[in-house]
């Protein structure tokens, strides 16, 4: 079946000439949509509605109302397991100052009423449904219904179907959907998620594991970071890969003690790749430094129970390529330590980063190509980052779905690289996409990493932290993400 309309939360599907899709009193097992017009210059004004029932519901009522006048119709026969099309039609007033409302069901007029032309010229004709004897005539603002299938006809009077998503009116002026391309992709993900929720609710029981990347906390003590995360009810951490030499970095025993005291487990380690340890460098000494660094981090990651090590194919902060061979050098160098990933049971998670920061591997597709170039079973996973994805991908949700089982960690930040909810990133679509790839499993993490804007974020590692600001960023991000997840999964 083809989906032609979906009822988005918190608003409507905006159409040309101010048309808007809305939901009317949706209940479990019922899909509803309405098309509400605004006043125009003469002619026929209409409210079109699609309704489908999946069970015997004999008390369905259809209605059209404007400025206190109303026409209502209740079918004599139950509507069972089929789609029905209703139209509330408002005909602009005649010379006598009278207007007419008509109610149509499946191409037949089932009721009408004449009434004086409303004095307020911004009044909207509304069509709606009521389910149950005591239900109101129509209820706006509800957003839990969904349209599974249907066709819009010429104001639902003609029985000849038109192309889904296309709207015609008696003046033969064609009104086409003006949904933007990214919105259409989001609509597809939304619809697939709703179908998943309806058909396999058990797949939404386990929630996404929420972690946090701590390298943006600067040089504060790990214990202070753990206290902050515990206060925000965060129980996983992505640790800063700070083993830049044999004598540097977190020590496993001390690290596990601190985290255990605050009910936090290690999700993985964020590998840090600069010009000093660049897998793609044209200087062998720097590639060797990258290999040695990965060895140290794998030892540490395995010792503290981490499931992945983030790897960047090139230096972060170096967007200009060395030459045309850096992809090959990087892949061949990482292949040298592939056996160590297998030995330690740690996933190599390749992170695509925006072109403003690195010279190679910017998208999920390019990360997949890179994995194929490394050609080692120990290097088979991806670390996504929505901040970079908003610059490089056509659509973040679609890219997540394309990553599929390869995705083992997802860095999060809002559009301004600040706390979630403080920018314009479509968090809902991201959450839906993650559930669609069954990301809510052990060993897969959603990990905020809000670092603020800039081409080289590494200075954040060395700064003295503003603790009050970090407390706010963590608390806000965790609260916002969990709220959106609860809303979407019906657990709010």
Per-residue pLDDT of the chain (492 residues; tens, 9 = 90+): 122 222 222 222 222 222 222 222 333 333 333 333 322 222 223 333 333 333 344 445 666 665 567 777 777 765 544 445 555 555 655 556 677 776 666 557 788 888 776 554 444 444 443 333 333 333 222 222 222 222 232 232 333 333 333 333 333 333 334 568 898 899 889 888 988 988 899 999 999 999 999 999 989 999 999 999 999 999 999 999 999 999 999 999 999 999 999 999 999 999 999 999 999 999 999 999 999 999 999 999 999 999 999 999 999 999 999 999 999 999 999 999 999 999 999 999 999 999 999 999 999 999 999 999 999 999 999 999 999 999 999 999 999 999 999 999 999 999 999 999 999 999 999 999 999 999 999 999 999 999 865 545 666 677 788 899 999 999 999 999 999 999 999 876
Specify the pLDDT at position 17: 20
Tell which residue, 466, 434, 437, has the closest CA to residue 452: 466
How far apart CA 67 and CA 409 sit, in angstroms, is 54
Beta bridge partners of 284: none
Cβ atoms of 242 and 270 within 8 Å: the answer is no
Specify the pLDDT at position 120: 47
Every domain range in the chain assigned CATH 2.60.120? 13-179
CATH, domain range 204-489: 3.20.20.150
Instruction: Reduce the DSSP state of residue 20 to 3 states and report it.
Output: strand
Specify the pLDDT at position 238: 98
How far apart CA 437 and CA 426 sit, in angstroms, is 17
Please enumerate in sequence order all residues whose Cβ is within 8 A of that of 384, keeping only pairs 6 or more positions apart, or say none: 351, 352, 364, 399, 400, 403, 407, 409, 410, 411
Every domain range in the chain assigned CATH 3.20.20.150? 204-489
Beta bridge partners of 49: 34, 86
Specify the pLDDT at position 111: 82
Specify the pLDDT at position 94: 55
CATH number of this structure's domain 13-179, picked from the four choices 1.10.260, 1.10.3470, 2.60.120, 3.40.228: 2.60.120
């Amino acid at each position: 079946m083809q989906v032609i309309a979906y009822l988005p939360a918190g608003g409507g599907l905006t159409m040309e000439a101010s048309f808007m899709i809305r939901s009317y009193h949706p209940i479990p097992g019922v899909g509803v949509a309405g098309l509400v017009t605004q006043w125009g210059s003469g002619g026929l004004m209409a409210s079109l509605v699609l309704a489908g029932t999946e069970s015997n519901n004999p008390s369905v009522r259809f209605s059209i109302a404007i400025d206190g006048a109303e026409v209502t119709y209740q079918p004599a026969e139950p509507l069972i397991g089929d789609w029905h099309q209703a139209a509330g039609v408002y005909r602009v007033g005649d010379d006598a100052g009278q207007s007419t409302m008509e109610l149509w069901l499946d191409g037949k007029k089932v009721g009408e009423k004449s009434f004086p032309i409303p004095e307020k010229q911004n009044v909207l004709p509304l069509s709606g449904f009521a389910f149950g004897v005591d239900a109101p005539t129509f209820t706006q603002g509800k957003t839990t219904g969904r349209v599974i299938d249907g066709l819009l006809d010429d104001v639902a009077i003609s029985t000849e179907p038109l192309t889904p998503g296309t709207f015609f009116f008696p003046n033969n002026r064609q009104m086409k959907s003006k949904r933007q391309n990214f919105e259409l992709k989001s609509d597809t993900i939304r619809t697939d998620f709703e179908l998943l929720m309806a058909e396999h609710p058990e797949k939404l029981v386990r929630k996404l594991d929420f972690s946090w990347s701590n390298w943006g906390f600067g040089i504060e003590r790990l214990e202070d970071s753990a206290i902050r995360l515990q206060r925000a009810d965060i129980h996983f951490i992505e640790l800063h890969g700070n083993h830049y030499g044999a004598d540097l970095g977190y020590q496993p025993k001390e690290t596990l003690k601190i985290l255990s005291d605050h009910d936090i487990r290690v999700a993985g380690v964020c590998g840090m790749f600069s010009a000093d340890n660049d897998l793609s460098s044209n200087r062998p000494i720097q590639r060797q430094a990258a290999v040695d660094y990965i060895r140290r981090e794998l030892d540490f990651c395995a010792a503290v129970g981490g499931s992945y090590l983030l790897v960047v194919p090139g230096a972060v902060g170096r967007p200009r390529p060395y030459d045309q061979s850096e992809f090959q050098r990087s892949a061949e160098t990482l292949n040298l330590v592939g056996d160590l990933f297998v030995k330690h049971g740690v996933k190599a998670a390749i992170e695509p980063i925006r072109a403003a920061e690195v010279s190679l591997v910017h998208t999920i597709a390019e990360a997949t190509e890179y994995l194929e170039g490394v050609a080692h079973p120990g290097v088979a996973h991806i670390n996504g980052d929505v901040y970079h994805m908003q610059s490089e991908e056509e659509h973040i949700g679609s890219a997540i779905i394309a990553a599929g089982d390869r995705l083992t960690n997802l860095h999060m930040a809002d559009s301004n690289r600040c706390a979630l909810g403080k920018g314009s990133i479509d968090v809902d679509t991201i959450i839906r996409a993650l559930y669609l790839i069954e990301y809510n499993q052990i060993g897969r993490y959603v990990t905020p990493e809000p670092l603020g804007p800039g081409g080289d974020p590494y200075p954040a590692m060395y700064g003295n932290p503003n603790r009050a600001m970090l407390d706010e960023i963590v608390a806000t991000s965790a609260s916002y993400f969990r709220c959106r997840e609860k809303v979407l999964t019906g657990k709010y």
